[in-house]
Chains A and B, each alone.
Chain A
Amino acid sequence: MKKHVLAVSLLLSAATTFGAGYQLNLQGIRQLAMGGTGVAWPWDASTIFYNPAGLSRIKNIQVYASGVLIAPTTAFGNLQSSAVTAPQTFTPFNVYVGGPIQQGSKFGIGLGVYTAAGIGLKWDDQWIGRYLIQSIDLKAVCFQPTLSYRVSELLSVGAGFVYGTGSLDLRQSLPIHGIYGSGGYSDDVGELHLHGNANGVGFNSGIQIKPSDDFQIGITYRSQVNMSISNGAATFTVPQSVSKLFPNTKFDSQLPLPQVASIGFGYRTMEERLTLQFDLNYTGWNSYDSLRINFTDHTSSLQDNHAPRHYRNTLTPRAGASYKLSKVIAFMAGAAFEPTPVVNGFVSPELPDADRIVMSCGITIKPFPRFTIMAAYEGVSTVTRSASYNYGGFSGTYKTQAATAGIGAYFNF
């Protein structure tokens, strides 16, 4: 059986991991393995993220931890040039602690710490889009204290307060060339470096309906978390004669983690061995209207930058299944179609994005009654997208691939 898992993994291994847009969908290993579904069925403490109402359905207090390795690469090409991003590895992680306040209680309480967003791209110094983006690194980790109440066997509710914290780091070349360079793509070129810490608040809420042990429904609403940056550092590297025009200064910006409304269904059959899940996520990306960088100091050459993004809302269907082979081992698989929120004409190389077909699989092993190990693999095939970024006068063809593997474990007290 183990060999079989490896074989499947190898088949799927040319894939990406970043969710649509800059949002990550890697908050639980079992859910990751099941195509990202998890709104209806409270499998474990990661329900704090997927549906807070499920927390009061868990039998015991649970400690849950997981981590994911992502090594994404984006390739670009147009008639003049082609480029590939530098190899980078990201390690989003999640920790959840929670469960009923005492065995059999109707109240569940917990805390989730999860990685909600993350992208990172680093292009070659001489690449053709250098005046738009040289590198970007965006991180957001959310802390979510959560309460859940089981109203009845049929209905439970839950909600959590979300505090997000993270950072943005961005570099781009400036078309200010020094006299010591040898040509247009010389090294004597100006650079803007933005670095700032971001934070924001929101909430995550859900209801969970359990008409029977084998049929469950979840409805959740995760609010927007507007990650705002204030007093970030804007550092300019320019030839000495124009340094007055580009003073080092502060900047403000914001990046919304979008609101998401979800509905999910879970159905268990075959003597409780097979569980099927189906979710729909409606993501309010249209709040990402523009990328605004507002500088504290302005000069004739340094003005605020408002780059239009005009993301559109997306509806993502997801399906997954879990098959319990024995009391120890279960297998999972799933699939999803993630439409891109980025519309044509707004595809910028800082976040090239395209529709993705997601396929995933995983395994859980329960070597001891209270302890479970989980592993998941997600494969995403993006279409090769030819698109333009009209604001920057830039167009080309993109393709993103990555290897993603996640592992996690939880312990029931």
Chain B
Amino acid sequence: MTSADHHTGHAEHATTTGITHNKMMMWSFLASDCMFFGTLIMMYMVYRPDMAELGGVGPNDLLDIPFSSLMTFVLLMSSLAFVLGLSALQRGNHAGMRVWLSATAILGLLFLGGEGFEYMKFYNEGLSLGTNVFGTAYFVTTGFHKLHVLIGVIWLLGLVAMSYRGQIGVHQSEKVEIAGLYWHFVDIVWIVIFTFIFLVPYR
């Protein structure tokens, strides 16, 4: 056990299922968040057929597929960076974990910056939350996703800070793993949003 493990080390509480409460809580949250995003995507899909005929500030005029593809790539690579950070921690490589988790946070910030730039571009072209059904559905659905990414970035930076203070040892890797479940969930929600909002043609 490392000094970091001693610092925060305490035995996990035994549970009847053998599964830790924290991990079970995160999976329960993710299951409920599936329903939350399911509702938002449902709202988008219900109004999607009406969006094809919107002139000027509709999806066919505004959505920038190459740019959104780049943002998708950034988010996918952030998930890869995270698992490499978790793997480093499980091998006892704390410095490696901090590097990979910082890289994940930077990629998350890059994603948020890129999407913020796209929001500004849409706004300058005349699309806002109340312009038309596309504006409302697009900003609400992607806005909640960005809020999730922002929370994830803050969580990641918190983990890096905790690691610097020696509060995450090899035997507390579950703390990082749980944050990872959240981060990867944000990634898979974007996989669905990218396909249904950006790639499927509006006709």
B partners with A: no
